[in-house]
Amino acid sequence: MSKKFYVTTPIYYVNDVPHIGHAYTTIAADTLARYHRLKGEAVFFLTGTDEHGQKVEKAAVDRGLAPKAHADIMTQNFQRLWQKLHISHDAFIRTTDAEHRVVVQELLQRLYEKGQIERRTYEGWYCTPDERFWTEKELVGGRCPDCGRPVERISEDNYFFLMSGYQARLIRHIEDNPGYIRPESRRNEVLGFLKTQVLGDLCISRPKSRLAWGIEIPFDRDFVTYVWFDALTNYLSATRYLSPPAQGSTDPKARERYWWPADHHLVGKDILTTHSVYWSTMLMALELPLPGNIFAHGWWTQEGRKMSKSLGNVVDPNEVVDSYGADAFRYFVLREVPFGLDGDFSPEAFITRFNTELANDLGNLLSRVNTMVNRYFGGKIPPAGAEEASDRELREAAAGIPGRIDADLSLLAFNRYLQDAWTLVTRANRYVEENAPWTLAKKQDMGRLGSVLYNLAESLRLIGVYLYPVMPSTAQKIWNGIGMDKQLTRCRLSEEQGWGGLGPGSAVRSGEQLFPRIERKNQAGRGSARTDSDEVKRKKNREKNMEKTAEEAQEPAPQPAGPELMGIDDFMKIDLRVGKIIAAERVEKSEKLVKLSVDIGTETRQVVAGIGKSYAPEELTGKAVVIVANLKPAKLMGIESQGMLLAASTGDTLSVITVDRDMRPGARVK
Ligand code: MSP
């Protein structure tokens, strides 16, 4: 029976669009999930969205939408980003799922029947944005100790989970299980708090009169449950209806028994208390096993400053991925900061790692090997000859890695894991220098040259395996580049980690550069030299994202602009001119083509354009449009077109580019 591995991310509030913090945890969880699949384990990787509560209700009201309609739109922003970042979650839970509600209500009922929930009149200070009560003593300067905002005095009846009764047991559990809360510093913080403060009971209801958007308390329909009681339960409820069948059984109870408890709950440090105290004691009261580990990672700042919507400096993962690719972003966030500590995202640091580690160390290694196999061995991986000292060192360097990365990942030390995997990249580059394959080629020492290239290609195969959990698409490109056809997603570490898995004779494939260098001088507007107007643009983009309707959200995401930049000289080769359409008619037997006569100042051109589905010919006459005037003439359905008309497209809809001032035909567009 294979081992099971269950990892979760927090479920994200749908009151905002995803940012680097959300992406960070999800990338970390994805790396673990991919690694454990590679080890042949049965994996359940869960993520999702937290859709109830005051914050979400307020965000929906602000947009004039019903909370569910708002959540339906916002949840797609997360799902689209996960696709873009190659996140391989097995399930996406939404707390508005009917199946989840059933479990939340069942747990509440169970706790109530066990006498673990009591009704009391509560008087205290309430922080509306944080949705929690504070005691007088906890307030800081009369304000919420968490967010610093004003609090309200509220007196009302509510239901309480008798959390205080579990304080001693929780302390014992944390002390007996050193890996329960990590990192160590956070574990000490939680223990320190539990040992010095009296744990209170937890208010787990909200009167519907104050908050309607939540799951009803099953034994009192005038109340909904507190959003954290609802949210934390997702980790358990998902095992029943979203987990892979347990050894073939789809019975919810069997699935819960098999998958629960989770091995890791990955969370940010700000939500460690809710997980380590609320969730742990809830599980104790329910007599359910506790998770194996709760890991609290640090927070990202942007160029040393706390990220905030009002500052407009929140790193949008979509922008980074569109410019530099998903794998570079995944690599950077895991490599830059030890998991557990705070980190800083600066374009400078990103570009430096990208250019030195990804482009130079890794990308160049693949392209060098690929080029030399093509040039000297007709594109076929040559066989290795007798092993020499430097070959042995390379092989031994590779052999030491699996044990180290396994230990690193068992501690969630992603940065060390990448450093350890990188030792082979560095060793292979040194091997190139030591063996100088170009000199071997010049000397016509094809036997030794073949050996060197085989060993390098074999190192690349292993590098692909080791890097796959962090950079899945890069790893596959490396494999394809050295002629490996297998899909890494379906491979097993035990079968792939031995030296010599690459068969001589495989045909290398030259692909695009893995990581084309980023030229710093061209960085304005691409996230490095950030200016105020970039900040404004970013803010606008975020607002635009929030405005997306459900229909728009279905559209395929816009494609990245592509890494290749062209010089101004290339651009100037295109002769763009203003043209005035003086006549337009449909091309017979074509739905799309329209034949236009266009005055471009010096002459009248015949242009055939594929805009017939979006425009009637009569709408076109008189328009001042933009024409590519120096294209070679081409025939479309037998009719010569002497130029091309510019138009923007979204799906089937086209919009012809026009000029908005009176311009004479023939005016240059540049
Ligand atoms: N819905 C709750 C979690 C419920 S889990 C049962 C929630 N959602 S959240 O969307 O506000 O935050 C999700 C995660 O983002 C948290 O783990 C939080 O720590 C993380 N981050 C928010 N800003 C962050 C940074 N600037 N840097 C790193 N992570 C940050 O809380």
Instruction: Determine how β-strand 205-207 pairs with β-strand 202-203.
Output: unpaired
- Name the token pair of 284: 């104790």
Whole-number Å distance between alpha carbons of 429 and 356: 13
Q: What percent of the chain has pLDDT over 70?
A: 92
Average pLDDT over residues 541-568: 42
pLDDT of residue 567: 63
Considering only CA atoms, which residue is closest to atom 30 of ligand 1? 21
Long-range contacts of 487-493 (CB under 8 A, 24+ apart): 488/38, 488/464, 489/37, 489/88, 491/38, 491/465, 492/38, 492/39, 492/40, 493/38, 493/39, 493/40, 493/402, 493/465
**Cβ of 74 less than 6 Å from ligand 1:** no
Residues 16 and 273 sit within 8 Å (Cβ to Cβ): no
- Name the token pair of 68: 């569910």
Residue 127 reports pLDDT greater than 50: yes
Residues 287 and 44 sit within 8 Å (Cβ to Cβ): no
pLDDT of residue 546: 39
Instruction: Determine the distance separating the centroid of ligand 1 and the alpha carbon of 295, expressed in angstroms.
Output: 13
Q: In which band, very low, low, confident or very high, does the pLDDT at 25 lie, cut at 50, 70 and 90?
A: very high
Instruction: Determine the distance separating the centroid of ligand 1 and the alpha carbon of 316, expressed in angstroms.
Output: 14
Residues 343 and 28 sit within 8 Å (Cβ to Cβ): no
| 383 preceded by a cis bond (ω within 30 of 0) | no
**Cβ of 122 less than 6 Å from ligand 1:** no
**Cβ of 271 less than 6 Å from ligand 1:** yes
Residues 32 and 9 sit within 8 Å (Cβ to Cβ): no
Closest CA to 447 of 378, 389, 376, 510: 376
Instruction: Determine the distance separating the centroid of ligand 1 and the alpha carbon of 147, expressed in angstroms.
Output: 14
Q: Which amino acid is at 272?
A: L
Residues 412 and 182 sit within 8 Å (Cβ to Cβ): yes
Average pLDDT over residues 50-67: 93
Spatial CB neighbours of 114, under 8 Å, sequence gap ≥ 6 = 285
Whole-number Å distance between alpha carbons of 625 and 665: 9
Residue 526 reports pLDDT greater than 50: no
Residue from 8, 9, 13 whose mutation best tests the ligand 1 pocket (most atoms within 8 A of CB): 13
Instruction: Give the number of other CB atoms < 10 A from CB of residue 547.
Output: 10
Instruction: Give the number of other CB atoms < 10 A from CB of residue 299.
Output: 17
Average pLDDT over residues 45-55: 96
Q: How many alpha carbons fall within 13 Å on the CB side of residue 606?
A: 13
Instruction: Determine the distance separating the centroid of ligand 1 and the alpha carbon of 249, expressed in angstroms.
Output: 34
Average pLDDT over residues 338-342: 97
Long-range contacts of 101-105 (CB under 8 A, 24+ apart): 101/215, 102/237, 103/233, 103/236, 103/237, 103/240, 104/215, 104/225, 104/229, 104/230, 104/233, 104/237, 105/215, 105/216, 105/217, 105/218
Residues 17 and 91 sit within 8 Å (Cβ to Cβ): no
- Name the token pair of 152: 């309200």
Q: What angle do CA 431, 437, 442 make, to 5 degrees?
A: 160
Containing 465, the helix (H) or strand (E) segment is: helix 446-467
Containing 119, the helix (H) or strand (E) segment is: strand 117-127
Average pLDDT over residues 408-424: 98
Q: In which band, very low, low, confident or very high, does the pLDDT at 84 lie, cut at 50, 70 and 90?
A: very high
Average pLDDT over residues 84-103: 98
Average pLDDT over residues 619-640: 87
pLDDT tens per residue, range 145-202: 988 999 999 888 999 999 999 999 999 999 999 999 999 999 999 999 999 999 999 9
Q: In which band, very low, low, confident or very high, does the pLDDT at 420 lie, cut at 50, 70 and 90?
A: very high
Please report the atom of ligand 1 found closest to the CA of residue 234: 6
Whole-number Å distance between alpha carbons of 436 and 429: 11
Considering only CA atoms, which residue is closest to atom 8 of ligand 1? 12
